[in-house]
């Protein structure tokens, strides 16, 4: 019997005996299984003492991989748990040093490793952390494609190129592994034959329940420690304050008018707004119903008024005055609002369109205290190594529990003092509801 | 291709279709969108104009057209000082909370760069995409733009395809090269319909290959005849459902007109095609005419030679890598073809005839430098004769008989038994008494009838005989068979006398 790696799959040739997880492929006259079944197939063949030729892995040559990192107690505990199966997900709060657990896993496996992360910022961050191995680190992304014994990639690039990368690495590490559960990305794990895999995240559970699939793909959650257990010793404490502001009278008028248009349309139909899906029904109709189209437009305008209200910016001015001597990070979802804030208050801004050099410059200037405030849209949401800040201000938000926690995580850096988080919302708008829902 | 949120579809289980826009009907919309792209306008101004064009019926169309034009247009940014330098200078002063503070910072930074506060203000963000200025207008007609839009919609729909089937009348080489280049897999049905999937498709239904399959679409649409069917997985209330999408070349007017560029693999092939075309008459020669099924892939023969019901393929084996040769041999061993195949093998490959012992082909010959025309012709005829011989044997075995005394149409008889007309000719000539003229067999009894009619004529000129021949639909050549001679005195048929030969 012979096992080959073919574009993300294991081709099993030359025997009639049934190998688990394989299907007959008449297109190529061979039995075939998804790449990630490799370890199970191998185990099965070894236990049933079937002789086979194994051509699956074609590992990137790797020198000795050693790092000299001291793990904290809970990090060591997480690593030990992982080492028993060499599969599974470790859940640690943001700021608790997930990356170090990953680095020590590489040290233990001591062979070629592929690290998958959600954003280019995280690629940069991992590459810089991985310097501890004293080796050139590879990068496989849209901007660069070099393969080294340790290679860092994004979910998008890994998804697109999994077929050709799937047999080159002994260990797979997924940072922010909750992303892997999505319908598309889970195929990354399926197409890799790597026998060992580690998932890292601060937020294992997904609202859509899809994290369940990680069990089969990676071995499920094997270690978790809560923020509360680390607060004090490893993470700083923080307070949360919600500030509601009224729309200006002009905004209020425009807001009410638009909401009215939307409501009137709803009343003329059988649609009740209970969830985002209900709104999608209206959107679907807007293609052939001018009224629906107008309703959608009005609703979007109303939302925009609420999110980017003048009063919010006035309130922000007050907060900024109050925290002149603090280190502040401002979040908002809307890029337009980022620029409004940046332009009105002269606060450096980072969005997904900000060039890498400028972004690094801004973060550096913030780190060395030349700047003491930053405003950003979602790019800072996940994992990026943001310099310590003790004030967070959220100008708008979505209803996602995960996002809320990770945004908090930004300022949960052990900086000594207690941190403050403010959330500014417009009163009498749909936003209030989102914010309440999220807290629960 | 467009992003998914710009895709408009109509669904009626089990069918799904992109909402294609009629070229005439929506020409004015396309014209308005194009007009918005006026040199000197900023990206932001253009976007604002575009937004005013949106109606409930066209908003996705308008945005889609604009997306396509953004890719064709050239925008340029211009500023006296690098805006990121200005920003750094501004931000270094710390944040401001009042307009006075703000003015103050602008003035200070202005002094630093020798610009007015207003100039600082207007250049602070000049490197944002919104501020870029249109330099060259997109060069495309409204109709062509709509066609681009329609094909883009098709490709975007395909993003969610889990399987794509197609058949085409041409462009095989380009399409199959692309399929393997893209890492897709395929099977071919007996009717030569190709089903494209990805490596993991058999283990699980996946949309992973949809974006890749979409890349095939422009190539499938190139030949004069094509049709395609795709299984599209789309979420309905959160649950994936499978719909079917059909399209064929009768809708070609909706899409950009492209033609197949039939290029040759090598100079050797091109040279051969040129020479043989001038030499053979009565045969139609086609380059890469079809696909043939082999074990688990297709083979595209280099040439076909076609005459009447006879067709042959010529496959040139003239490449040099060992992998290529191995692959080629595997293909020719398993090829399923209705028509015979001849292989022309480059001698420098160091193959021997025995290397092709298992090949499912009619003949193999070797060549150096250029493919000679003569052996091809000779072998075509030899295969032709062999086929006639086989058919003749078959006719003898079946003892095919004909109605007594009737004139027989040889082509019709050959057609009804699916044999070569030449075989029927030989067969009838051998076992029945009679003559053959104009692909008709005239038995002796019928011949006697004609003879009697001719003999009964008062005046035996060609002009008098012709109506009789015409009645039986036979040629003048049978006159000789019946023992007459035609004596031409002049070119005038009336004067050509028919006389009994001595």
User: Which of B6, B159, B199 is the best residue to mutate to test the A interface, defined by the most A CB atoms within 10 Å of its own CB?
Assistant: B199
Using a CB-CB cut-off of 8 Å, the residues of chain B touching A156 are none
Using a CB-CB cut-off of 8 Å, the residues of chain B touching A365 are 88, 91-92
Q: Which residues of B84-98 are buried (b: 16+ CB within 10 A; e: fewer)?
A: bebbbbbbeebbbbe
* Interface contact B238-A287, CB threshold 8 A: no
Least confident interval from A67-81, A122-136, B467-481: B467-481
Interface of A with B in 80-119 (CB under 8 A): none
Place of tokens 């004596």: B487
B13's tokens:
């289980």
pLDDT at A384 over 60: no
pLDDT of residue A206: 81
d(CA B317, CA A331): 65
Q: Quick check: A32 and A10 in contact, CB under 8 A? A: yes
Q: What share of chain B is helix, strand, coil (3-state, %, to 5)?
A: 45, 20, 35
pLDDT of residue A370: 92
H or E element that contains A364: helix A356-367
Distance (Å) from the alpha carbon of A375 to chain B's nearest alpha carbon: 11
B394's tokens:
């078959």
Residue A314 pLDDT level (bands cut at 50, 70, 90) = very high
Average pLDDT over residues B244-264: 90
Q: What is the mean pLDDT of chain B?
A: 88
pLDDT tens column, B417-457: 888 888 888 888 888 888 888 888 988 888 888 888 888 88
Q: What is the ipTM of this complex?
A: 0.73
Residue A35 pLDDT level (bands cut at 50, 70, 90) = very high
For chain B, say whether A277 makes contact (Cβ under 8 Å).
yes
pLDDT at A259 over 90: no
pLDDT of residue B463: 83
pLDDT of residue A437: 42
Distance (Å) from the alpha carbon of B389 to chain A's nearest alpha carbon: 38
The reported pTM is 0.74
pLDDT tens column, A174-200: 999 999 998 889 999 999 999 999 999
pLDDT of residue B138: 92
* Interface contact A346-B102, CB threshold 8 A: yes
pLDDT of residue A306: 82
pLDDT of residue A431: 46
pLDDT of residue B319: 66
pLDDT tens column, A409-433: 555 554 556 678 888 888 776 643 4
Give the CA angle between residues B350, B354, B356 to the nearest 5°. Answer: 85
Report the residue from B19, B96, B187 with minimal CB separation from A26: B187
A77's tokens:
């505990």
Give one DSSP letter per residue of A89-127, joined into a string: EEE--TTS-HHHHHHHHHHHH-S-EEEEESSHHHHHHHH
- Chain B CA closest to residue A355: B84
For chain B, say whether A292 makes contact (Cβ under 8 Å).
yes
* Interface contact B238-A187, CB threshold 8 A: no
For chain B, say whether A370 makes contact (Cβ under 8 Å).
yes
Distance (Å) from the alpha carbon of B423 to chain A's nearest alpha carbon: 41
pLDDT at B297 over 60: yes
3-class DSSP state of B352: coil
What's the 3-state SS for B64-128?
A: HHHHHHHHHCEEECCCCCCHHHHHHHHHCCCCCCCHHHHHHHHHHHHHHHCCCHHHHHHHCCCCC
Please give the residue that has the higher pLDDT: either A340 or B384: A340
pLDDT tens column, B303-353: 988 876 678 899 888 766 777 778 888 888 888 888 888 888 888 877 777
pLDDT of residue A105: 97
Q: What is the mean pLDDT of chain A?
A: 84
Report the residue from B56, B237, B238 with minimal CB separation from A290: B56
For chain B, say whether A335 makes contact (Cβ under 8 Å).
no
Residue A407 pLDDT level (bands cut at 50, 70, 90) = low
Residue B150 pLDDT level (bands cut at 50, 70, 90) = very high
For chain B, say whether A191 makes contact (Cβ under 8 Å).
yes
Distance (Å) from the alpha carbon of B9 to chain A's nearest alpha carbon: 10
Using a CB-CB cut-off of 8 Å, the residues of chain B touching A294 are 56
Average pLDDT over residues B456-461: 82
d(CA A320, CA A331): 14
pLDDT at A438 over 50: no
Max distance between CA atoms of chain B, in angstroms, equals 130
Q: Quick check: A112 and A244 in contact, CB under 8 A? A: no
Residue A378 pLDDT level (bands cut at 50, 70, 90) = low
Average pLDDT over residues A302-317: 87
* Proportion of chain A above pLDDT 90, given as a percent: 41
For chain B, say whether A274 makes contact (Cβ under 8 Å).
no
Please give the residue that has the higher pLDDT: either A72 or A417: A72
Report the residue from A289, A339, A373 with minimal CB separation from B56: A289
- Chain A CA closest to residue B6: A287
pLDDT tens column, A272-289: 766 666 777 777 777 778
B170's tokens:
């041409």
Distance (Å) from the alpha carbon of B164 to chain A's nearest alpha carbon: 15
């Amino acid at each position: 019997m012979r096992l080959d790696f073919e574009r993300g799959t294991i081709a099993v040739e030359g025997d009639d005996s049934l190998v688990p997880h394989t299907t007959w492929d008449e297109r190529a006259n061979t039995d075939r299984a998804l790449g990630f079944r490799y370890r199970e197939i191998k185990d099965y063949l070894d236990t049933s003492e079937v002789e086979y030729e194994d051509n699956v892995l074609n590992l990137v040559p790797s020198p000795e991989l050693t790092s000299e990192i001291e793990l904290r107690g809970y990090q060591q505990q997480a690593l030990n748990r992982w080492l028993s199966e060499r599969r599974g997900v470790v859940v640690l709060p943001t700021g608790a040093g997930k990356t170090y657990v990953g680095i020590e896993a590489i040290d233990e496996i001591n062979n070629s490793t592929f690290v998958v992360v959600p954003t280019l910022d995280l690629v940069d961050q991992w590459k810089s952390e991985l310097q501890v191995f004293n080796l050139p680190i590879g990068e496989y992304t849209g901007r660069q494609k070099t393969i080294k014994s340790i290679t860092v990639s994004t979910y998008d690039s890994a998804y697109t190129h999994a077929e050709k990368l799937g047999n080159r690495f002994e260990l797979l590490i997924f940072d922010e592994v909750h992303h892997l559960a999505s319908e598309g990305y889970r195929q990354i794990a399926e197409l890799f034959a790597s026998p060992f895999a580690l998932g890292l995240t601060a937020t294992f559970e997904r609202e859509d329940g899809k994290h369940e699939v990680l069990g089969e793909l990676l071995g499920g959650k094997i270690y978790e420690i809560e923020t509360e257990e680390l607060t004090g010793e490893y993470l700083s404490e923080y307070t949360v304050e919600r500030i509601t502001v009224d729309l200006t009278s002009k905004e209020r008028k425009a807001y009410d008018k638009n909401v009215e248009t939307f409501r009137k349309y709803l009343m003329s139909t059988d649609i009740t707004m209970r969830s985002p899906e209900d709104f999608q029904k209206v959107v679907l109709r807007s293609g052939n119903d001018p009224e629906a189209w107008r309703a959608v437009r009005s609703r979007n305008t109303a939302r925009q008024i609420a999110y980017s209200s003048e009063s919010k910016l006035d309130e922000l001015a007050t907060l900024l005055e109050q925290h002149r001597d603090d280190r502040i990070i401002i979040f908002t979802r809307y890029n337009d609002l980022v620029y409004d804030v940046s332009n009105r208050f002269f606060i450096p801004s980072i969005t997904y369109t900000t060039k890498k050099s400028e972004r690094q410059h801004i973060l550096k200037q913030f780190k060395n205290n030349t700047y003491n405030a930053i405003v950003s849209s979602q790019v800072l949401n996940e994992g990026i190594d943001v310099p310590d800040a003790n004030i967070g201000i959220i100008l708008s938000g979505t209803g996602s529990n995960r996002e809320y926690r990770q945004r908090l995580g930004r300022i949960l850096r052990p900086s000594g003092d207690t941190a403050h988080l403010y959330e500014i919302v417009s009163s009498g708008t749909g936003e209030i509801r989102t914010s309440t829902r999220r807290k629960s | 291709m467009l992003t998914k949120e710009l895709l408009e579809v109509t669904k009626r289980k089990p069918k799904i279709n992109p909402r294609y826009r009629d070229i005439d009907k929506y020409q004015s919309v396309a014209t308005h969108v194009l007009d918005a792209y006026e040199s000197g306008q900023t990206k932001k101004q253009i976007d604002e104009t575009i937004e005013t064009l949106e109606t409930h019926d066209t908003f996705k169309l308008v945005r889609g057209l604009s997306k396509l034009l953004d890719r064709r247009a050239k925008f340029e940014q211009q500023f006296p000082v690098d805006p990121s330098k200005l920003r750094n200078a501004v931000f270094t002063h710390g944040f401001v909370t009042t307009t006075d503070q703000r003015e103050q910072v602008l003035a200070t930074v202005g002094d630093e760069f020798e610009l007015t506060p207003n100039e600082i203000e207007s250049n602070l963000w000049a490197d944002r995409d919104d501020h870029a200025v249109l330099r060259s207008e997109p060069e495309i007609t409204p109709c062509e733009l709509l066609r681009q839009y329609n094909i883009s919609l098709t490709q975007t729909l395909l993003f969610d395809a889990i399987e794509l089937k197609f058949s085409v009348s041409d462009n095989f080489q380009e399409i199959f090269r692309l399929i393997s280049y893209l890492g897709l897999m395929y099977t071919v049905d007996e009717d030569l319909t190709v089903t494209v999937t990805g490596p993991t498709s058999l283990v699980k239904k996946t949309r992973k290959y949809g974006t890749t399959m979409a890349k095939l679409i422009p190539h499938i649409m190139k030949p004069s005849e094509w049709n395609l069917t795709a299984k599209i997985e789309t979420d309905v209330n959160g649950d994936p459902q499978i719909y079917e999408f059909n399209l064929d070349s009768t809708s070609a007017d909706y899409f950009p007109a492209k033609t197949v560029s039939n290029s040759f693999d090598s100079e050797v092939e091109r040279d051969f095609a040129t020479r043989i075309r001038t030499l053979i008459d009565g045969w139609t020669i086609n380059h890469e005419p079809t696909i043939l099924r082999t074990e688990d892939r297709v083979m595209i023969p280099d040439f076909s030679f076609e005459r009447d019901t006879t067709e042959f393929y010529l496959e040139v084996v003239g490449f040099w890598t060992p992998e290529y040769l191995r692959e080629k041999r595997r293909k020719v061993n398993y090829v399923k073809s209705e028509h015979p195949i001849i292989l022309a093998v480059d001698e420098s490959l160091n193959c021997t005839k025995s290397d092709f012992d298992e090949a499912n082909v009619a003949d193999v010959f070797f060549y150096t430098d250029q493919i000679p025309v003569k052996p091809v012709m000779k072998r075509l005829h030899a295969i032709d004769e062999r086929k006639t011989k086989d058919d003749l044997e078959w006719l003898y075995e079946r003892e095919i008989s004909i109605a007594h005394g009737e004139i027989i149409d040889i082509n019709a008889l050959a057609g009804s038994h699916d044999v070569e007309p030449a075989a029927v000719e030989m067969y009838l000539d051998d076992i029945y008494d009679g003559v053959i003229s104009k692909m008709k067999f005239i038995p002796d009894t019928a011949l006697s009838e004609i003879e009697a009619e001719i003999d009964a004529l008062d005046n035996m000129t060609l002009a008098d005989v012709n109506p009789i021949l015409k009645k039986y639909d036979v040629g003048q050549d049978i006159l000789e068979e019946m023992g007459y001679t035609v004596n031409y005195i002049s070119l005038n048929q009336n004067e050509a006398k028919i006389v009994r030969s001595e």
